[in-house]
């Protein structure tokens, strides 16, 4: 950390916002970023019928084809660079490149479709990249306590599980702070 030296440059940390198709990754980066987020979205077309599961996200019109990028400053001296991953399976090969240099990740989950984010949990577990799970309660509903989600995803005790709303800045910020706490605990 830059600590108390007022002339020191802020510390910068690369964080991935990952998870399955349509779980709210782009929404989260947009809600929490203090700069206008960079988005690379393209319209969903009929080619995705039968491939992309739109149950519960019928309003969805576009999907991320490369990445989302945003930035948030925590405290005086910690800047998080947020990289949202694409969710469609055909773009998962990009996750390897996006993960280079990432210190941690948020695995976002749609509370109604936990299975969509199983692969993201595996991805970070296999690479030993610390992560937290953000449970996005679509329509602000959280029918399951965090412990139930932990059991459903077979997550170890040390992985924080947070209920959140990807549309709410404060809620997304709390998820990122939990991740920072987790990163500090692992060093
Ligand atoms: N009601 C509700 N809608 C949400 C929420 N989060 C995201 N959405 C909507 O759900 C759809 C999917 O959200 P995105 O942010 O595009 O999801 P994504 O994970 O970036 O999707 P991909 O990049 O395609 O994988 C969009 O239509 C959002 O407006 C939420 O918390 N509640
Ligand atoms: Mg997206």
User: Can you give the pLDDT of all 187 residues of the chain as single tens digits?
Assistant: 555 676 777 799 999 999 999 999 999 999 999 999 999 999 998 888 888 889 889 999 999 999 999 999 998 889 999 999 999 999 999 999 999 999 999 999 999 999 999 999 999 999 999 999 999 998 888 999 999 999 988 999 999 999 999 999 999 999 999 999 999 998 8
Q: Choose one of 16, 20, 27, 112 to mutate for the ligand 1 pocket test, by most ligand atoms within 8 angstroms of C-beta.
A: 27
Q: Does domain 11-186 have CATH number 3.40.50.300?
A: yes
Task: Please name the residue whose Cα sits nearest to atom 7 of ligand 1.
Answer: 24
What is the 110 CA–ligand 2 centroid distance (Å)?
13
pLDDT for res 1: 52
pTM of this prediction? 0.94
What number of CA atoms fall less than 13 Å from residue 63's CA on the CB side?
22
- Which residue ranges have their beta carbon within 6 Å of ligand 1? 21-27, 57, 59-60, 63-64, 86-87, 136, 138-139, 165-167
Domain boundaries, the chain: 11-186
pLDDT for res 3: 55
Please identify which residue in the block is written with the tokens 């990009």.
94
Residue whose C-alpha is closest to residue 134's, from 39, 10, 32:
32
pLDDT for res 35: 97
The answer to whether 106 touches 172, Cβ cutoff 8 Å, is no
How many CB atoms sit inside 10 A of residue 2's CB?
15
pLDDT for res 51: 86
User: Rounded CA gap, 22 and 86, in Å?
Assistant: 9
Within 8 A by CB and 6+ apart from 176, the residues are 15, 32, 72, 74, 80, 82, 106
Nearest ligand 1 atom to the CA of 44 is 24
pLDDT for res 36: 97
pLDDT for res 2: 52
């Amino acid at each position: 950390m830059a600590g108390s030296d007022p002339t020191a440059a802020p510390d910068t940390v690369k964080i991935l916002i990952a998870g399955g198709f349509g779980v709210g990754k782009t929404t989260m980066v947009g809600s929490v970023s203090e700069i206008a987020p960079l988005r690379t979205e393209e319209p969903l077309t009929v080619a995705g019928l039968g491939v992309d599961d739109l149950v519960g996200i019928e309003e969805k019109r576009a999907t991320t084809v490369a990445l989302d990028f945003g930035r948030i400053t925590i405290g005086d001296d910690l800047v998080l660079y947020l990289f949202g991953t694409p969710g469609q399976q055909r773009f998962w090969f990009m996750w390897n490149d996006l993960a280079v240099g990432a210190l941690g990740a948020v695995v976002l989950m749609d509370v109604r479709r936990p299975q969509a984010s199983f692969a993201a949990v595996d991805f970070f577990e296999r690479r030993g990249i610390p992560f937290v799970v953000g449970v996005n309660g679509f329509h602000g509903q959280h029918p399951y306590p965090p412990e139930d989600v932990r059991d459903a995803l077979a997550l170890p005790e040390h992985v924080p599980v947070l209920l959140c709303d990807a549309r709410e800045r404060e809620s997304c910020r709390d998820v990122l702070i939990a991740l920072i706490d987790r990163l500090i605990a692992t060093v």
